[in-house]
Amino acid sequence: MVEEVLPKSFEDLIKDVHEIGICGECGGCVSFCSAGDLHAIEMSESGPPHYANKDKCLHCGICYLVCPQTHILDKELNERYNYKISIGNWGKISSSRANSEEIRKNATDGGAVTAILIYLLDKNLINGAIVSKREGPFNRVPFFATTKEELIEAAGSHYDISHGVVSLEKYNSFVPTITELKTVLSSDTMNIAVVGTPCQIMSIRKMQELSILPAHIVKYTLGLFCNLNFSFDAEARKKLEAKFDFSFDNVEKLNVKENLIVQLKNNQMKYIDFKDVHEFARPACFACRDFSNVYADISFGGLGSKDGYTTAVIRTKIGEKLYNNALRDGYIQEPSELNTSVKKSEMLAKVISFGKRKYNRYKKALKERQ
């Protein structure tokens, strides 16, 4: 008799992801649960999601498939996106920035991401983009931006500590972008762009591979490089302040490139090695192997570019057309002195090197958890 192979279910997700401590609490499984209306599973106050009504679970396995921490669709995605180890598929690498000074002023690096999103809106190629906006001094929330002004407001990673630092909630650089996807669909013909970290873009690609609605409305994926994601509570911030001799009251901006960069209001910079902040990173990040966002249409980061510019790795035909058109129409600029073949090789070498480091970190973490 042939034994029936059942799809993996939420029980397997508990075993394979939650119990080994690598759930990133992204909310993807809860948002796209087939028994969502029946509240089979729900988010927890803190920690991984849990069964709310176990008997309502349909054992369909969708939660397991979309979770960025299961590698169940690796083969399919790697084939579709021509994955090459540590850097993924790429056609062009460049250093660019937004033409608009207003965007650059708000941006994390050169504002290329925001400028390209505005190009998409101006040309009516999208109805809006899922980005993240500041909510309170240290928090960001996923947000569906439909105007140029909203996109500019959502740019960058500046701190706004005008609300007072005393009642600071936990600072968390992770934003549950995937859950926002569930709420934006107002029409089947809608087109959107999504900005996200590698784990977020991977979830979207998994959904597209499986035709899970509404992933079909995502027409452009703008990926961000990501080495680690942090979560600083009050105690962690105190430790950092003492160790690196600064006060969060005086922080103007946080950025990540080759290290964690803290820019103070007096323009003093603190460069903090990633290994010194490992203890504040989200545990799920140690089981993540993608640095350069290998499944995105275009991936962006500060690494490899001089300050005020964004490195872009163009990966898909869609990404190539988008980037070239935004450049042609003057939304972004690519100074030739920053894009010589030598500079491009240097940029590429850095991205590959960080990709390899992250891949090795993932291998080590997996071994330790086995």
Ligand X SMILES: Cc1cc2nc3c(=O)[nH]c(=O)nc-3n(C[C@H](O)[C@H](O)[C@H](O)COP(=O)(O)OP(=O)(O)OC[C@H]3O[C@@H](n4cnc5c(N)ncnc54)[C@H](O)[C@@H]3O)c2cc1C
| d(C-alpha 240, C-alpha 234), whole Å | 10
**In a 3-state reduction of DSSP, which class is residue 194?**
strand
Binding to ligand SF4 by residue 322, rule CB under 6 A? Answer: no
35/288 with CB nearer ligand X: 288
- Single out the residue of 13, 22, 66, 113 in contact with ligand X (rule: CB under 6 A): 113
Cα R_g (the chain), whole angstroms = 20
Which of the listed partners (ligand SF4, ligand X, none) does 112 bind, with a CB threshold of 5 to 8 Å by partner kind? ligand X
Using DSSP's 3-state secondary structure scheme, residue 66 falls into helix
The yes or no reply on residue 132 touching ligand X (CB under 6 A) is yes
Is residue 230 part of the contact set for ligand SF4 (CB under 6 A)? no
Q: 277 contacts which partner out of ligand SF4, ligand X, none, CB within 5 to 8 A by kind? A: none
Rounded CA-CA distance 278/276 in Å is 6
Could you write out the DSSP letters of every residue in 287-304? G---SS-TTSSEEEESTT
Question: Which of the listed partners (ligand X, ligand SF4, none) does 34 bind, with a CB threshold of 5 to 8 Å by partner kind?
Answer: ligand SF4
Least Cβ distance, residue 62 to ligand SF4 (angstroms): 4
Within 3-32, the residues that bind ligand SF4 by CB under 6 A are 9-10, 13, 17, 23-29
Tell the smallest beta-carbon distance from residue 47 to ligand X (Å).
20
Query: 274-299 burial string, b = 16+ CB within 10 Å, else e?
Result: beebeebbbebbbbbbbbbbbbbbbb
Does residue 154 bind ligand X (CB under 6 A)?
A: yes
Nearer to ligand X, 38 or 348 (CB): 348
Q: In the 8-state DSSP scheme, what is residue 109? A: S
d(CA 78, CA 8): 21
Query: How far is the C-alpha of 141 from the C-alpha of 159, rounded, in Å?
Result: 14
Q: Torsion over CA of 73, 76, 82 and 85, rounded to 10 degrees?
A: 40
Phi, psi of 25 (to 5 degrees): 55, 40
Residue 319 interaction partner, one of ligand SF4, ligand X, none, beta carbon < 5-8 Å per kind: none
Nearer to ligand SF4, 199 or 326 (CB): 199
The sign of the torsion formed by the CA atoms of 113, 298, 231, 238 equals negative
Identify any residues that bridge with 93 across adjacent strands, giving them in sequence order.
313
Contact with ligand SF4 (CB under 6 A) among 145, 154, 192, 285 = 285
Helix axes 112-122, 317-328, angle to 10 degrees: 90
**Scanning the structure block, which residue is given the tokens 């926002």?**
180
Q: Give the one residue of 22, 26, 118, 175 binding ligand X; rule: CB under 6 A.
A: 175
256, interface contact from ligand SF4, ligand X, none, CB < 5-8 Å by kind = ligand X
Q: Does 296 bind ligand X (CB under 6 A)?
A: no
Give the nearer residue to ligand X in terms of CB position, either 63 or 224: 224
Gap between the terminal Cα atoms of the chain: 33
Tell me how far apart the alpha carbons of residues 121 and 103 are, in angstroms, rounded to a whole number. 15
Residue 284 makes contact with ligand X by CB under 6 A:
no
The only residue of 90, 138, 174, 230 in contact with ligand SF4, by rule CB under 6 A: 174
Which is closer to ligand SF4, CB of 291 or CB of 309?
A: 291
Residue among 190, 223, 208, 194 at smallest CA distance from 296: 223
Contact status: 48 vs ligand SF4 (CB under 6 A): yes
Verify binding: residue 173, ligand X, rule CB under 6 A.
Answer: yes
61 binds ligand SF4 (CB under 6 A): yes
Question: What token pair was written down for 199?
Answer: 């784990």
Instruction: Determine if 284 is a binding residue for ligand SF4 (CB under 6 A).
Output: yes
Cβ-based nearer residue to ligand X, 48 or 196: 196
Please report which helix (H) or strand (E) contains residue 207, including its range.
helix 198-209
Sites of contact with ligand SF4 (CB under 6 A): 9-10, 13, 17, 23-29, 33-35, 40-41, 48-49, 57-63, 67-69, 174, 197-199, 226, 228-229, 282, 284-285, 288
Sites of contact with ligand X (CB under 6 A): 107-114, 131-132, 140, 154-157, 173, 175, 177, 195-197, 224-227, 229, 255-257, 300-303, 310
